[in-house]
Amino acid sequence: FDWKRMNHLKKIQGAVLGNGPDFENFPSFMLRMIGPLTVQLLDLRSAIAKEASRCVQVMAQAFEDDFEPYAERYINHNCLLKMINSATKLISEAGHQSIVSILHNTH
C-alpha cells in the first residue's frame, strides 16, 4: 500500500482547509494539481481513489462558486465520470460523491 500518496492527499486537504487559500498563488497551485489528482482519482486501489475523491470534495466545499473553473476539469469522461463507471463499488461511490459535492457547492 502506498502510504506516501495517502499522506500527500491528506496534506492537500489540510492546505485547502487551513490558510492555503489565503496565499495569492493558491489558484495556480489548484490548476497544477488537476493532472496529478486526476491520476490518483483513477488509481485502481480504492483507498487511493477514495482519498483523492475526498480532496476534490473538500476543494469544492471550501471554494464553493470559486471552484467552478476547476469543476469541468474533474467532471468529464476521463475523470469522475470514468470513476462512476468503475466495477469497484467504492470507487464508483467516491466518484459519485465528488460529482454531487461539486454540483451542490458550485451553483
**pTM, to two decimals:** 0.92
Q: Are 74 and 38 in contact (CB under 8 A)?
A: yes
* Ranges of the chain whose pLDDT falls below 50: none
At 36, list the grid cell: 496529478
Measured CA to CA, the distance from residue 80 to residue 51 in angstroms comes to 13
Measured CA to CA, the distance from residue 52 to residue 30 in angstroms comes to 14
DSSP one-letter code for 64: G
What pLDDT, on a 0 to 100 scale, did the predictor assign at position 20? 80
What pLDDT, on a 0 to 100 scale, did the predictor assign at position 19? 84
Measured CA to CA, the distance from residue 99 to residue 93 in angstroms comes to 10
Residue type, 24: E
Compute the Cα dihedral for 91, 11, 64, 79 and give only its sign: negative
What pLDDT, on a 0 to 100 scale, did the predictor assign at position 1? 60
What pLDDT, on a 0 to 100 scale, did the predictor assign at position 21? 81
